[in-house]
Amino acid sequence: MRFTGKPLAALVAWQLLLASPLASSSAYAIEELTAGKHYEVLPLPVATADPAKIEVVEMFSYACVHCFTFDPSLEGWRSAAPADVSFRRTPAVFNKDWELLAQVYYAAEVLNIIDKVHTPVFNALHMDSVDLRDPERVAALFEKHAGIKSDQFNDVYNSFSVRSRVQQAIGKGKAYRITGVPTLIVNGKYRVDGQLAGNNTKMLEVVDFLIAKERAGTAGKPQAVTQ
């Protein structure tokens, strides 16, 4: 989804009108994948959290219906990812509404309940039309699915730690030069989105290709010594 600047409610409704099922297709032949056509090489590589692993980052937003429909495929891919691959999500922030949704994500992260509330948050917004800009509604969701009391949620949701993580996410989005979501970043070097790949299903095929490319590029190099 490309950012349009629409208010949250109108944005979600607009996306639902435009959304279509993910197209299925045969896997790319490796020789077909080229930089500038199926993925972009970032002009300035972005440092990864763990240099010992190949990092895949999803830039997403709970407001994005395409992120919502893509999430089950991504979760299936993540559950089967090799041991040398690390995966994490980073909320995209294109406006104030998305910033509030980023707070929701990082509140769940700080509370260590992402696995319990990630899908329910998506479902609440896109299936039940819950306005997640309202902290009270988010608090009720966290209590229902993870047993978090409202006072604990409020303390974390409004904390410096959460707000600091939101600001860091904004910086990451700029460093990755994203213009829409979902977008996948491979090892801080490559950017892949549905438009480049052809659709969201093919995006994961391109990511697998880039992981193999990174793995081949590091094969035989001496490992860093940790003291």
Q: Which residue, among 130, 174, 126, 165, has the nearest Cα to 15 in the 3D structure?
A: 126
Q: Binning pLDDT at 50, 70 and 90, where does residue 19 land? A: very low
Using DSSP's 3-state secondary structure scheme, residue 40 falls into: strand
Say what percent of the chain tops pLDDT 70: 82
C-alpha of 53 from chain center: 18
| Predicted local distance difference test score (pLDDT) of residue 81 | 95
| Predicted local distance difference test score (pLDDT) of residue 201 | 86
Is 25 domain-assigned?
no
Is 21 domain-assigned?
no
Q: Is the pLDDT of residue 85 over 80?
A: yes
* Of the ranges 7-11, 31-35, 43-47, the best mean pLDDT one: 43-47
Q: What is the mean pLDDT of residues 191-213?
A: 94
Is 18 domain-assigned?
no
CA separation for the pair 36, 95 (Å, rounded): 28
Amino acid at 193: D
Using DSSP's 3-state secondary structure scheme, residue 86 falls into: strand
Is 103 domain-assigned?
yes
| Alpha-carbon torsion (112, 118, 119, 121), positive or negative | positive
Using DSSP's 3-state secondary structure scheme, residue 60 falls into: strand
Is 187 domain-assigned?
yes
Q: Is the pLDDT of residue 40 over 80?
A: yes
The H-assigned helical ranges of the chain are 8-18, 65-79, 96-110, 114-126, 135-146, 150-157, 160-176, 194-197, 200-218
Determine the structural domain holding residue 117 and report its residue range: 8-12+31-218
Is 167 domain-assigned?
yes
Q: Binning pLDDT at 50, 70 and 90, where does residue 224 land? A: very low
pLDDT tens, residue by residue, 94-121? 999 999 999 999 999 999 999 999 999 9
| Predicted local distance difference test score (pLDDT) of residue 8 | 55
Least confidently predicted of 14-28, 32-46, 90-104, 131-145: 14-28
Q: Is the preceding omega at residue 182 within 30 degrees of 0, hence cis?
A: yes
pLDDT, averaged across the chain: 87
CATH number at residue 90: 3.40.30.10
Q: Is the pLDDT of residue 26 over 70?
A: no
Can you tell me which residue has the tokens 């699915």?
Answer: 145
| pTM of the full structure | 0.84
Q: Is the pLDDT of residue 29 over 90?
A: no
Number of domains in the chain: 1
Q: 141 with 166: CB under 8 angstroms? A: no
